[in-house]
Amino acid sequence: MLLGPATAWLVVFLVLPFIAIAVFSVGERAPEGGYQAAFTLAQYANLPARATAFWNTMVLAPVGALACLLVAYPVAYYLALRAPQRWRLILLALVVIPFWTSLLMRTYAWMYILGGRGIPALLAFVGIEDVRLINTPGAVLLGIVYGYLPLMILPIYVSLERLDRRLLEASADLGATPLSTFLGVTLKLSLPGVMTGFSLVMILLLGEYLIPTLLGGGKVFFIGNALVDLFLQSRNWPFGSAIAITLVLVSVVVLIAANRISTRVSGARRVDLI
Amino acid sequence: MSKSYRDGLPISPENFVDQLMRLKRGSIGRRDFLGLTGLGIATAVMAREIGIMPTPAFAAESLGDRMSIATWPNYHDPATFENFKKDTGVAVEVNVFGSNEEMLAKLQAGASGWSLFVPTNYTISTYKKLGIIEPLEMAKLPNFDGSQEDPRFTGEGTIDGTIYAVPKNWGTTGFAVNTKKLTKPMTSWKEFWDTAMAEGDSRTMVHDYQLTTIGNALKYYGYSFNSLKQDELAKAEELLLKVKPHLFAVSSDYQPGMRAGDAWMTMCWTNDGAQLHRDIPEIAYVLGKEGGEIWTDFYAIPKDAPNKPAGCALLNYLMNPQVAVKEHLANGAPSTDARVNKLLPKEVLDNPILYPAADLLTPLEFGAAATLTDPGRAELMARFKSA
């Protein structure tokens, strides 16, 4: 019974737009831009024209997700296993609260923090002159880690929180060092959460365009940027649609692969991905 | 099954949609980044192709009580719309846009809901060709006086002798330089590009806009700003690819970088140049002596305007020189109307950023419709950005 609204939601917000984009992708660009009906695979044949953008994205997505993971895991670990019970909810709220403000706003804030009047001005005050932080690869990485951190922390937190503490005691009783307990029990049992967080962040990064534009100065071109330009600037909707369809297919492949990997490493446990 | 799926969810679908709408509304006040948030297009396209949204009904000849206008960020005196409402009872909803392309896409999709909008010169012939705009009913615009307009600026609003659009204001595209950081005086696009690879290394910005970035690269060789010739565009591409590694950013949102001192030089539109110079006197605004772009923003009424009478009434109100002068003082762009220029304070008219010397204006070109819609230039820009 509950499937009704969910199915309707999916049809209206996922299936219909997808069909529209699929129809656009076999069409032609009208002379003044936009779409005109046709049946051609020319747009797909033209995909190599955005090969650099695809390549940049394929590098950004896993690297960004990995950087996010490295920061998120210790935080989630502390929240789930070390933080005092009465503080836990407050700390968790603090992780989520920034998420209520638009990513655009928060990224703009970073533009000013990293810009010449932000941290570089403070550094100049203590004698370190002419530091440029904004529009560097480091700034983009920072923006990505900052922007997607809650999405990585929460699934890992959930999997660590459900961890049966008796297993940790048993491991210690049987003579394992804290490190091998962590590697053999904690890490292994939290892998489903890690993989959920990793694929979630990675899939969102496949479409990311805002952070590289604002914090990277638009000098590095990702597939998201290519899409924005094709729809909003050159108004080549059919080519943009072909790229969008390809991106969706790539995301699905990534999801399936992530699911397979996490099923294998964590034994028979089922993993739910969004 | 459904329980565990919900458990792992860091954000509910409702909340996610809410976030998305926030992002969509999150205008930052610069054309470029409004473009970034242009999710509205998708809905507009869907509406046309699938017919979800109803076509707006035409109002009777009364002015009604509301209308909406599509325009650019920081382009009007807010008091203008307040006063219009006081006079006529019509509340004006202001839609702010990031680019002409975005505006075009929304109008082309239909059901934009606007009764007045502000297109730039090079889009008007395309709007006419697509049948999106109609001739203005000049009888209803007694405040407009064609004889007081400089014909150089009104030209592109008139097609085959019929007036489709009347000018709002004009401007130029030059570059802004922080003269404390880059002390060598510059007067040309050649110097702009050469400096970007030398003293201005990693401190120079170009627009994220093919029209101006490619156009001003063409000026390095003295070619037309609007060139569509293969060999000339190939030379421009060669220059752009050579400059790319030296750039601070490819972005039309250059005021923050210039103000913070991170960027020392940027391609720049008149209004931004005037604002930067007003607040930071060492930032100069330069027009390349080889030429470059001159532009006019117009007012036009869409064919499917839901409240045409109110659109017409607001346009007539805006053409009143007493009203228009306040608009110019608020947004800082130069006026095309001699009656308005008479009312502007002397220091505005004497500001060489707003009203440059005639010999600097002579070589400037208006962007052409074909330049904007040319697929070859779009692909060149994509290669430049991904290099």
- Collect all residues of chain B within an 8 Å Cβ-Cβ radius of residue A23: 49
- Does B318 share its domain with B283? no
Supply the pTM of this predicted model: 0.81
User: Residue B183 carries which side chain, given as an amino acid letter?
Assistant: T
A32: in domain: yes
- How many whole angstroms separate alpha carbon B153 and alpha carbon B164? 14
Task: Give per-residue pLDDT as tens, A214-249.
Answer: 999 988 889 999 998 898 888 899 999 999 999 999
Task: Give per-residue pLDDT as tens, A124-136.
Answer: 889 887 788 899 8
Kindly report the average pLDDT of chain B as a whole number: 85
Of B98, B101, B250, Cβ closest to residue A218? B250
Instruction: State the best of B133, B250, B381 to mutate against chain A, taking most chain A CBs within 10 Å.
Output: B250
B249: in domain: yes
- Collect all residues of chain B within an 8 Å Cβ-Cβ radius of residue A35: 45
CATH, residue A241: 1.10.3720.10
Count other C-beta atoms under 10 Å from residue A30's C-beta.
18
Tally of domains in chain B: 2
- Collect all residues of chain A within an 8 Å Cβ-Cβ radius of residue B378: 229, 233-234, 236
Residue B221 has pLDDT above 70, yes or no: yes
- Does B290 share its domain with B300? no
Does the CB of A104 have a partner CB in chain B at under 8 Å? yes
Task: Quote the radius of gyration of chain A (alpha carbons, Å).
Answer: 22
pLDDT of residue B173: 96
A74: in domain: yes
**Starting at the edge strand that comes first in sequence, how are the strands of the sheet with B116-117 ordered?**
B91-96, B66-71, B116-117
Does the CB of A157 have a partner CB in chain B at under 8 Å? no
CATH, residue B67: 3.40.190.10
Instruction: State the best of A102, A107, A236, A239 to mutate against chain B, taking most chain B CBs within 10 Å.
Output: A102
A158, B7: Cβ pair inside 8 Å?
yes
- Does B153 share its domain with B269? no
Task: Give per-residue pLDDT as tens, B116-170.
Answer: 999 999 999 999 999 999 999 999 999 999 999 988 888 899 999 999 999 999 9
Tally of domains in chain A: 1
Domain of residue B90, residue span: 29-170+296-357
Does the CB of A258 have a partner CB in chain B at under 8 Å? no
Residue A273 has pLDDT above 70, yes or no: no
How many residue contacts between A and B have a Cβ separation below 8 Å? 155
What's the pLDDT band for B51 if we cut at 50, 70, 90?
A: very low
Does an H or E element contain B173, and which?
strand B166-178
pLDDT of residue A32: 80
Of A105, A116, A218, Cβ closest to residue B251? A218
B23: in domain: no
Nearest C-alpha neighbor of B263 from the set A253, B42, B325, B272: B272
The burial of B109, by beta-carbon neighbours within 10 Å (0-12 exposed, 13-18 middle, 19 or more buried), is given as buried
Cα separations (Å) of B301 from A130, B38, B77, B147? Answer: 50, 22, 20, 22
> Tokens 């975005």 — which residue?
B102
* Residues B366-377, mean pLDDT to the nearest whole number: 91
Count other C-beta atoms under 10 Å from residue B54's C-beta.
8
Kindly report the average pLDDT of chain A as a whole number: 88
A272: in domain: no
- Collect all residues of chain B within an 8 Å Cβ-Cβ radius of residue A218: 208, 249-251, 385
pLDDT of residue B50: 39
- Collect all residues of chain A within an 8 Å Cβ-Cβ radius of residue B249: 135, 217-219
Cα separations (Å) of B164 from B168, B169, B314? Answer: 13, 16, 16
Task: Give per-residue pLDDT as tens, B99-125.
Answer: 888 888 888 878 789 999 999 999 999
Cα separations (Å) of A138 from A89, B100, B141? Answer: 32, 33, 56
Task: Give per-residue pLDDT as tens, A71-98.
Answer: 999 999 999 998 998 899 899 999 989 8
Task: Give per-residue pLDDT as tens, A151-201.
Answer: 999 999 999 988 888 888 898 889 888 898 888 888 888 888 998 899 899
pLDDT of residue B297: 94
Task: Give per-residue pLDDT as tens, A4-59.
Answer: 788 888 888 889 999 999 999 999 998 888 888 999 999 999 999 999 999 999 88
Task: Give per-residue pLDDT as tens, A243-267.
Answer: 999 999 988 888 888 778 777 776 5
pLDDT of residue A11: 86
B5, A150: Cβ pair inside 8 Å?
no
Does the CB of A81 have a partner CB in chain B at under 8 Å? no
Pairing mode, if any, of strands B265-269 and B247-250? unpaired
B7: in domain: no
Domain of residue A20, residue span: 3-265
Of B36, B41, B205, Cβ closest to residue A210? B36
The sign of the CA dihedral B384, A235, B152, B29 is negative
